[in-house]
Amino acid sequence: MLPIEIRPGIYWVGVNDRTTDLFEGLWPIEEEGVSYNSYLIDDEKKAIIDLSKAIKTDDFFDQVAHVIDLADLDYVVINHMEPDHSGVLRMLLRLAPRVTLLGTEKTRSMLEAFYGITENVRVVADGETLPLGKHTLKFVHTPFVHWPETMMTYEVSQQILFSCDAFGSYGALRGGIFDDEYPDPVFYEREALRYYVNIVAIFSKLVLQAIDKLDGVPLSIIAPSHGLVWREKPGHIVELYRRWAEYATGARPTEVGITFLYGTMYGNTEKMMNAVAQGIAEEGVPLTIFDVARTHPSYILPALWTQRGVMVGAPTYEGSLFPPMTHVLEVATTKRVRNKLVARFGSYGWSGGAQRRFEAMLEPLRWTLTDSFEFVGAPTDEDLRYGEEFGARFARLIKSEAQASDAQ
Ligand code: FEO
């Protein structure tokens, strides 16, 4: 995609990445891709806001060269030091050695730690403005959205917020960069939630602080570093972010629904999973089912984040919990997916052990165990009938808990 002028003198000069399999070396994006959105302001002074991952160095400099000669560049605004935003920096400084790098105090130390860069770095204060000519930049410190050095940059004349990771999503851009170029941006909304829960969510309190800090700031465009540029409905993505962050702080109840995590070795726990799911479905509670051995936690976390109930079906494996289930629960612990109601079932062959390990994992998760049962070997018809009622009972609990929190 060629550069796109999003407002007079302000260009998107981003690049799509469809070849990186794992974002942060961890989160799968081989099907979705990702964009590294960079923005260039061509004025009396010329500035680039955010850059690109190094894997796209050639493409990135080609984008910039379509608009200006890189040697004429005055400033690079480093909203965030993570290398998906800053990876081309060393090469840029070889091509434009007199450019001034702008960032927070923490950015200064990170520039040295990550790239050995100590010269031509200028620290900008929270709220400081920088006139470029017709355009003026204003810097808004937003620590831990996503790293401690992170800030956003606001262009005053056009009311554009360059929000960095905040309000961004996985997903390479599919021809258009603006929300109004997609009749149904559901893909980007889904991938914005996945990005949020995978990358940003443990800092939800600070996300809310950042959103509060923007209160009253006129926003005509939100231009994140990944995914869509929100031109038609900038407030929509802000409200989605507020909702996801409030789930973490408890300011907003999570959605009535159950995330059903199951794993099975030879199909016995799977048979029970179907019975339990039947019971849940009979109660009309939304249900999302994941086979934890075949689904990356990246795709499971959004459901866990947004739904208030978790059903766990996993067998004993070598005296402990089925390892793929342990892995998902450990990732959920790391990502601070907290305050869930949970029930568990599973099969065992001789001595068991899964339940003990599972219960030990609940304390750091801060999940409340409401019910559990185990069965030996293959489930009998009686076991399956019990499983169906077990699922229905848990679904009723989720509904009644939701009614109770609505009444508060
Ligand atoms: Fe887009 Fe924190 O990296």
User: How far apart are the CA of 84 and the centre of ligand 1, in A?
Assistant: 6
The alpha carbon of 195 and the centre of ligand 1 are apart by a number of angstroms equal to: 9
Task: Give domain status of residue 215, yes or no.
Answer: yes
**CB of 146 shorter than 6 A to ligand 1:** yes
Q: Is the CB of 84 under 6 A from ligand 1?
A: yes
Is the residue at 283 inside a domain? yes
Do 171 and 242 sit in the same domain of this protein? yes
State which of 249, 273, 304 marks the end of a domain: 249
Same domain, 8 and 43: yes
pLDDT tops 80 at residue 240: yes
Give residue 247 CA to ligand 1 midpoint distance, Å.
Answer: 22
Ligand 1 centre and the CA of 191: distance in Å?
14
Q: In which band, very low, low, confident or very high, does the pLDDT at 175 lie, cut at 50, 70 and 90?
A: very high
- The answer to whether 373 and 390 have CB atoms below 8 angstroms apart is yes
Name the closest-CA residue to atom 3, ligand 1: 82
- Among the candidates 220, 249, 278, a domain finishes at 249
Are residues 361 and 223 located together in one domain of the fold?
Answer: no
For ligand 1, say whether the CB of 165 is within 6 Å of any of its atoms: yes
Q: Is the CB of 155 under 6 A from ligand 1?
A: no
200-237: pLDDT as tens digits: 999 999 999 999 999 999 999 999 999 999 999 999 99
Any atom of ligand 1 within 6 Å of the Cβ of 357: no
Percent of the chain past pLDDT 70, that is, above it, reads 100
What residue numbers bound the domain in which 394 lies?
255-402
Radius of gyration of the chain (CA): 24
Task: Please report whether residue 155 resides in a domain.
Answer: yes
pLDDT, tens digit (0-9, with 9 covering 90-100), for 69-99: 999 999 999 999 999 999 999 999 999 999 9
What pLDDT, on a 0 to 100 scale, did the predictor assign at position 126?
97
State yes or no: pLDDT of 406 exceeds 80: no
Quote the CA–CA distance of 226 and 112 in Å, as a whole number.
25
Query: Is 311 a residue whose pLDDT tops 70?
Result: yes
Residues 146-168: pLDDT tens digits? 999 999 999 999 999 999 999 99
Ligand 1 centroid–CA 323 distance in Å is 29
Q: Degrees (nearest 5) of the Cα angle 43, 67, 131?
A: 15
Q: Is the CB of 231 under 6 A from ligand 1?
A: no
Indicate whether 408 pLDDT > 70: no
Same domain as 260, residue 212: no
Is the pLDDT assigned to residue 405 strictly greater than 80?
Answer: no
Looking at residue 314, its pLDDT comes to 98
In this structure, are 261 and 243 located in the same domain? no
339 with 356, same domain: the answer is yes
> Are both 28 and 177 inside the same structural domain?
yes
How far, in Å, from the CA of 334 to the mean position of ligand 1?
Answer: 18
Looking at ligand 1, which atom is closest to the CA of residue 164? 1
**Do 240 and 274 belong to one domain?**
no
Q: Identify the band that residue 402 occupies on the pLDDT scale cut at 50, 70 and 90.
A: confident
pLDDT digits (tens, 9 = 90+) for 251-266: 999 999 999 999 999 9
Q: Which atom of ligand 1 is nearest to the CA of 150?
A: 2
- pLDDT tens per residue across span 355-387: 999 999 999 999 999 999 999 999 999 999 999
Domain with residue 345: its CATH number is 3.40.50.360
Do 235 and 285 share a structural domain? no
The verdict on 236 and 315 lying in the same domain is no
Checking if the pLDDT of 61 tops 80, the result is: yes
Domains in the chain: how many in total?
A: 2
- Global pTM reads 0.95
Q: Is pLDDT at 111 greater than 90 in this prediction? A: yes
Domain membership flag for residue 407: no
Task: Give the Å distance between the CA of 45 and the centre of ligand 1.
Answer: 27
> Which of these three, 249, 281, 312, is where a domain ends?
249
Looking up residue 222, the CATH number of its domain turns out to be 3.60.15.10
Is the pLDDT confidence value at 248 over 90?
A: yes
- For the Cβ of 50 lying below 6 angstroms from any atom of ligand 1, the answer is no
Check whether residue 231 and residue 313 sit in a common domain.
Answer: no
% the chain with pLDDT above 90: 96
82 C-beta closer than 6 A to ligand 1? yes
Nearest to 51 by CA among 7, 105, 117: 117
The pLDDT value given to residue 335: 97
State yes or no: pLDDT of 245 exceeds 80.
Answer: yes
Q: Is the CB of 149 under 6 A from ligand 1?
A: no
Please indicate, yes or no, whether residues 398 and 269 belong to a single structural domain of this protein.
Answer: yes
Is the pLDDT reported for residue 110 higher than 80?
Answer: yes
Residue nearest to atom 1 of ligand 1 (CA): 165
What's the whole-number average pLDDT of the chain? 97
Per-residue pLDDT, averaged over 183-196, amounts to 95
Dist. CA 82 → ligand 1 center (Å):
5
| Ligand 1 geometric centre to CA of 73 (Å) | 24
Where residue 25 falls among pLDDT bands split at 50, 70, 90?
Answer: very high
Residue 46 included in any domain: yes
